[in-house]
């Protein structure tokens, strides 16, 4: 502890402030996301999917029954294996959520290093680190619970830092290049989509005369995306894409979307217009006072994901509340730093004003758009608070055996996903948000059904009534509106 204290006090005061702010941010948001999980306001999609996937891998199993796809047929999230030992030690959703909060918070420390290197100013580095912690999207990423691409954020920042400093001195070039490739590899192992950002970083290096490392990153990122994203994931899923249907008349695969956008530009332009692409771009850049626009080259890191998001027919992919925004917002922060560097080279006063603008914009948007404790959406976006139904959920969980096959409400799935067969009711009787219906187990193997009273649609309600009236399920226990039904025969 004494050595840690000495190391802390030797740092510049701005670094000390960032360290303390990061620690406080991690502690507070960890408390909030744990509250959300413990009060049963997290969902089967996606926390339930990730929780069951990690448990399955820890048991040498590979088919996820929450979504109906092979574990790596949903996405190539190979870093699940990094979490498997923690699963063996008793880890679960709360740990995964806290690890993600740590990943988001620690990114501010790397941003400090990047900004200080680019701007040669501790105060400027402090402002950009603070902006990252204040961004509405950063708070919402913590709120949305565990997502592998979010876990990749600090590693992407680290890879970028070592990549841009690889030409700093000849003696350290090989070491820095190796570190850049290592951290970027760790990032893409969290999710294949991050390889698109690696390609963007490679293009930036090529333009800035770091051609050797740049070409390696472009080639490596492209090969990874093609082999893993375009070939392996669809092969494992049996071509049952979780996202293909979202692109409407643009196609169902990345190549179809690209081809139809080129062959039918009116479809492409109409989709951008219908989805208000300019408003989406504004939501990404406004919290940073639009300083990102002064470095359009750096924005290439997030441009592919920007279009992947905005070209769908589903508004959640371009909502700033969800994990789809990880790469665009990372690109916006890095571009803002480069934009400030551009202004610094041309006019010192404008550079200083841009820093003030970034600070003011990040505070204003955090207050008016964000879900942090001082944001206006803190109380409207549920972080989870106790209700009597919590006791009902817990009572139902006590009845269920650790290995029992179950069909339960989506709010319960993340809490009992450590089993081979868990479905969101009315699966496996009626297919709902389940991709490979040929992999349903025989419904006769389901031992428990757990649902909140009065929450079911007509079809699901009729099914439950039929199962109870036929004598298949009964022995119902209802606690605070949560009913658990046991299989009788």
* pLDDT per residue as tens, the chain (489 positions): 666 566 666 788 999 999 999 999 999 999 999 999 999 999 999 899 999 999 999 999 999 999 999 999 989 999 999 999 999 999 999 999 999 999 999 999 999 999 999 999 999 999 999 999 999 999 999 999 999 999 999 999 999 999 999 876 555 678 899 999 999 999 999 999 999 999 999 999 999 999 999 999 999 999 999 999 989 999 998 877 667 778 989 988 777 888 999 999 999 999 999 999 999 999 999 999 999 999 999 999 999 999 999 999 999 999 999 999 999 999 999 999 999 999 999 999 999 999 999 999 999 999 999 999 999 999 888 898 889 999 999 999 999 999 999 999 999 999 999 999 999 999 999 999 899 999 999 999 999 999 999 889 999 999 999 999 999 999 999 999 999 999 998
Structure tokens at 350: 């404008």
- Cβ atoms of residues 190 and 151 within 8 Å: yes
Structure tokens at 252: 């169902």
Our CA angle for 457, 461, 463, nearest 5°, is: 125
Instruction: Give CA–CA dist 211/204, Å, rounded.
Output: 9
Which residues are CB-contacts of 196 (< 8 A; sequence separation ≥ 6)? 221, 225, 304, 305, 327
- Cβ atoms of residues 308 and 177 within 8 Å: no
Strand order in the sheet with 473-479: 422-424, 406-408, 448-452, 482-487, 473-479
Domain boundaries, the chain: 2-38+92-240+275-369, 388-487
- Cβ atoms of residues 423 and 385 within 8 Å: no
CA atoms within 13 A on the CB side of 225: 18
Burial class (CB in 10 A: 0-12, 13-18, 19+), 474: middle
Instruction: Give CA–CA dist 37/98, Å, rounded.
Output: 11
- Cβ atoms of residues 41 and 406 within 8 Å: no
Instruction: Give CA–CA dist 422/52, Å, rounded.
Output: 9
Instruction: Give CA–CA dist 192/179, Å, rounded.
Output: 19
φ/ψ (deg, to 5) at 390: -55, -45
Structure tokens at 407: 């069909």
- Cβ atoms of residues 72 and 233 within 8 Å: yes
**Predicted TM-score of the model (pTM):** 0.95
CB crowding 343-377: b at 16 or more within 10 Å, else e: bbeeeeeebbebbebbbebbbebbeebbbbeebeb
- Cβ atoms of residues 416 and 400 within 8 Å: yes
3-class SS letters over the chain = CHHHHHHHHHCCHHHHHHHHHHHHHHHHHHHHHHHHHHCCCCCHHHHHHHHHHHHHHHCCCCEECCCCEEHHHHCCCCCHHHHHHHHHCCCCHHHHHHHHHHHHHHHHHHHHHHHHHHHCCHHHHHHHHHHHHHCHHHHHHHHCCCCHHHHCHHHHHHHHHHHHCCCCCCCCHHHHHHHHHHHHHHHHHHCCCHHHHHHHHHHHHHHCCCHHHHHHHHHHHHHHHHHHHHHHHHHHHCCCCCCHHHHHHHCCCHHHHHHHHHHCHHHHHHHHHHCCHHHHHHHHHHHHCCHHHHCCCHHHHCHHHHHHHHCCCCHHHHCCCCHHHHHHHHHHHHHHHHHHHHHHHHCHHHHHHHHHHHHHHHHHHHHHHCCCCCCCCCCCCCCCCCCHHHHHHHHHHHHCCCCCCEEECCCCHHHCCCCCCEEECCCCCCCCCCCCHHHCCCHHHCCEEEEECCCCCHHHHHHHHHHHHCCCEEEEEEECCEEEEEECC
Q: How, if at all, do strands 63-64 and 69-70 pair?
A: antiparallel
Which residues are CB-contacts of 97 (< 8 A; sequence separation ≥ 6)? 30, 33, 34, 36, 37, 47, 145, 146
Of 109, 95, 106, 111, nearest in space to 30 by CA: 95
CA max distance for the chain? 79
């Amino acid at each position: 502890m004494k050595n840690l204290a000495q190391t802390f006090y030797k740092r510049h005061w701005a670094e000390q402030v960032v360290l303390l702010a990061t620690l406080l941010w991690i502690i507070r948001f960890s408390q909030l996301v744990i509250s959300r999980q413990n009060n049963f306001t997290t969902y089967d999609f996606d926390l339930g999917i990730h929780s069951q996937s990690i448990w399955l891998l820890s048991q040498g199993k590979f088919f996820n029954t929450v979504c109906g796809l092979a574990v790596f047929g949903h996405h190539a999230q190979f870093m699940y294996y990094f979490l498997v030992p923690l699963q063996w030690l008793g880890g679960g959703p709360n740990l995964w959520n806290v690890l993600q909060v740590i990943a988001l918070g620690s990114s501010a420390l790397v941003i400090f290093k990047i900004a200080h290197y680019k701007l040669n100013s501790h105060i400027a580095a402090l402002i950009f680190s603070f902006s990252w912690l204040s961004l509405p999207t950063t708070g919402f990423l913590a709120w949305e619970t565990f997502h592998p691409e979010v876990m990749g954020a600090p590693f992407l920042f680290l890879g970028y830092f070592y990549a841009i400093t690889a030409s700093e001195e000849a003696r350290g070039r090989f070491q820095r290049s190796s570190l850049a490739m290592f951290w970027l590899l760790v990032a893409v192992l969290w999710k294949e989509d991050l390889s698109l950002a690696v390609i963007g970083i490679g293009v930036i290096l090529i333009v800035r005369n770091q051609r050797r490392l740049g070409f390696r990153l472009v080639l490596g990122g492209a090969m990874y995306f093609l082999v893993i994203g375009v070939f392996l994931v669809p092969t494992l899923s049996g071509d049952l894409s979780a996202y293909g249907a979202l692109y409407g008349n643009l196609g169902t695969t990345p190549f179809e979307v690209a081809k139809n956008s080129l062959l039918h530009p009116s479809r492409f332009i109409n989709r951008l217009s219908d989805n208000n692409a300019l408003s989406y771009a504004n939501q990404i850049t406004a919290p940073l006072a639009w300083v990102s626009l002064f470095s359009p080259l750096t924005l290439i890191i997030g441009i592919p994901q920007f279009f992947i998001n905005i070209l769908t027919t589903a508004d959640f992919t371009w909502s700033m509340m969800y994990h789809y925004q990880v790469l665009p917002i990372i690109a916006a922060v890095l571009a803002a730093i480069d934009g400030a560097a551009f202004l610094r080279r041309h006019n010192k006063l404008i550079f200083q004003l841009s820093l003030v603008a970034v600070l003011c914009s990040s505070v204003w948007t955090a207050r008016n758009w964000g879900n942090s404790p001082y944001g206006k959406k803190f109380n409207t976006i549920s972080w989870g608070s106790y209700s009597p139904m919590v006791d009902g959920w817990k009572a139902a969980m006590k009845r269920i055996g650790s290995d029992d096959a179950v069909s339960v409400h989506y709010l319960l799935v993340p809490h009992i996903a450590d089993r081979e067969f868990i479905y969101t009711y009315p699966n496996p009787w009626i297919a709902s948000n389940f991709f490979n219906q040929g992999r349903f187990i025989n419904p006769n193997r389901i031992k428990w059904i757990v649902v909140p009273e009065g929450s079911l649609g007509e079809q699901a309600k009729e099914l439950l009534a039929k199962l109870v009236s036929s004598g298949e399920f009964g022995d119902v226990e209802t606690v605070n509106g949560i009913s658990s039904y046991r299989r009788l025969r």
